[in-house]
Chain A
Amino acid sequence: MQHAKRIMAYFYMPLLFLVIGYGVFFLAARPILDFVHNTVHLITLDRPPKFSAEKTTKSLKLVTANQQQTLKMDHLKLPTYGDQFGQLTIPAVGLEQPLYFGDGEQQLAKGVGMYNGSRFPGERGTTLVAGHNVTAMHNLNQVQVGQQIVVRTSYGVYTYGVTKKLVAKYNDAQAFDLSGRQPKLILYTCYPINMVGLTPDRLVVYGSLQSGPIIKM
């Protein structure tokens, strides 16, 4: 009996020390642990981040013809950042590029990107789309007023008429004004088109909506 008690003590004593020790340690280190606890949930994701260069575009189906004049927001599945959700075409100059949600480097390397702080085509507001002058928008300077821009998305086809074309500074708030309830499109790229180096100028093309289903809440 004594022997058993002695042997058992080699197990339960360290375990007891473990439990009480952790209790005291957590109490003593509470300021640091509170900080860690508050931070950990904020800076972690549900699963490890992915770094694959390509975001898988699972069988994107673009609408060919509009079925309705209005669409309800509840019924739409809007994309998340980095998804391709459409195609931008300017038939007059032969520009045809995949359209992504988000205008980060990954998106601009593959096509044109819609600024995630602007409105989707069809919403009452401005859609701001960027592209590199060396690649996707190398012939944007050939666009003329009156020509058409077609944006095919997964929920509708939108046609814009070019209303204006100008050169503006990158930080010109008026040129890139996102306010207003009229559905409109702004395309921009670095200017001059064939210059090397960082330029503060942007070639900006404006389009107003001619046809396409309006998205309602």
Chain B
Amino acid sequence: MKRFMMGFVLAVVACISFGLLNGQVSAASNSAGQSIIKNLENGANGGKLKVNDSDLNQVRNYVNSGKTTVTQDQANIANNAINEVRGIVESAAPDARTYTQAVEKLSADQKTQIRNIVYKAARALGLSVMFNQGTAGNSSNDTTGTGADTPNDTAGNAANGTPGADGTNGSNGTNGKNGTNGVAGETGANGVNGTNGTDGSLMPTLTDRAGNVVYQPASPNGSNGTGTIVKQTGNDYLISIISFLAILAVAGLGYGLIRKNQRVDA
């Protein structure tokens, strides 16, 4: 009887707590979501580089949507991700005032790093990456140049000012057209165009778990580049090699056991 009463009291307390908590959770989720927006509004480079209004509004609309609940944990992960990206941008492009200027200065590695951070944050927020026809940077009818993925040596272009380097840009299909412009001597512009080609590749279309669009990049090219989510390093494959050798060693052990314990059977 005593146990029953205790159980009943616990159940009532749980219900009341849940009811109170529910009210608090809505307020908490709203403030958790708002913290993400406030963090984004700070921009980077001391506020000189601002997040686009369109990007900021898309985040606002997602956070304020009646169907979204952002927990404090999720907000913390998202804010950490924003701070990480801010750190990368501020170290690579401290004077940038626009996306284009910032992306110009980022190396291919840094772009991949930012993409991975964004994917990680998207996962934590329960978002999915939606693929559509036209994903993967093939925004033109000519993909012959998409071959070697030679990184655009925009720094080299700027330093050398060599029209020949325009060919590097040309290897990116869409960028190839811009490379023609570069022959006119605007190699710097080629770098920008090349970057624009991958601009869209930094951010894909994000949806919620039901497939409703949450974020669409505002890049004029709108092409989402290829790229691996997780980079493979030499250390990872070392485990594979060790496993393979271990298997062979086990086989040797088995053979040894047989030979050692062999006897003449009838």
Pick the residue among B34, B123, B218, B239 that contacts A117 (CB under 8 A): B218
Return chain A residues, CB-CB under 8 Å to B239.
27-28, 30-31
Stretch at the interface among A42-50, A87-95, A206-214: A42-50
On whether the beta carbons of A120 and B229 are closer than 8 Å, the reply is no
On whether the beta carbons of A34 and B54 are closer than 8 Å, the reply is no
On whether the beta carbons of B61 and A120 are closer than 8 Å, the reply is yes
Q: Smallest Cβ distance from B9 to chain A, in angstroms?
A: 32
CB proximity to B under 8 Å, residues A160-194: 171, 178-179
In Å, the complex CA distance between A175 and B41 comes to 22
CB proximity to A under 8 Å, residues B40-98: 52-55, 57-58, 60-61, 64-67
Q: Smallest Cβ distance from B99 to chain A, in angstroms?
A: 12
On whether the beta carbons of A81 and B229 are closer than 8 Å, the reply is no
Residue of chain A at shortest CB distance from B60:
A119
On whether the beta carbons of A74 and B240 are closer than 8 Å, the reply is no
Return chain B residues, CB-CB under 8 Å to A46.
209-210
Q: Is A70 an interface residue (CB 8 A)?
A: no
Return chain A residues, CB-CB under 8 Å to B229.
35, 38-39, 42
On whether the beta carbons of A178 and B67 are closer than 8 Å, the reply is no
Task: Among B61, B214, B239, find the residue whose CB has the most chain A CB atoms closer than 10 A.
Answer: B61
On whether the beta carbons of A43 and B209 are closer than 8 Å, the reply is no
In Å, the complex CA distance between A126 and B55 comes to 14
Q: Smallest Cβ distance from A28 to chain B, in angstroms?
A: 4
Contacts known (A42-B128, A78-B64, A116-B58); A30 close to B236, Cβ less than 8 A:
yes
On whether the beta carbons of A80 and B208 are closer than 8 Å, the reply is yes
Q: Is A141 an interface residue (CB 8 A)?
A: no
On whether the beta carbons of A50 and B211 are closer than 8 Å, the reply is yes
Residue of chain B at shortest CB distance from A125:
B57
Pick the residue among A31, A78, A79 that contacts B236 (CB under 8 A): A31
Q: Is B243 an interface residue (CB 8 A)?
A: yes
Return chain A residues, CB-CB under 8 Å to B216.
116-117
CB proximity to B under 8 Å, residues A89-105: 101-102, 104
On whether the beta carbons of A171 and B240 are closer than 8 Å, the reply is no
In Å, the complex CA distance between A50 and B123 comes to 21
Q: Is A24 an interface residue (CB 8 A)?
A: yes
Q: Is B212 an interface residue (CB 8 A)?
A: yes
On whether the beta carbons of A24 and B243 are closer than 8 Å, the reply is yes
Q: Is A9 an interface residue (CB 8 A)?
A: no
On whether the beta carbons of A77 and B232 are closer than 8 Å, the reply is no
CB proximity to B under 8 Å, residues A17-41: 24, 27-31, 34-35, 38-39, 41
Residue of chain A at shortest CB distance from B67:
A80
On whether the beta carbons of B236 and A116 are closer than 8 Å, the reply is no
In Å, the complex CA distance between A217 and B35 comes to 13
CB pairs A–B below 8 angstroms (11 shown): A27-B243, A28-B244, A31-B232, A34-B230, A34-B236, A74-B30, A77-B66, A80-B67, A116-B57, A117-B57, A126-B53
Which 7 residue pairs are nearest across A and B when measured between Cβ atoms?
A117-B54, A77-B66, A28-B243, A178-B53, A31-B236, A81-B213, A46-B209
Known contacts A38-B229, A74-B27; 5 additional CB pairs below 8 A are: A45-B211, A73-B64, A80-B65, A117-B58, A118-B53
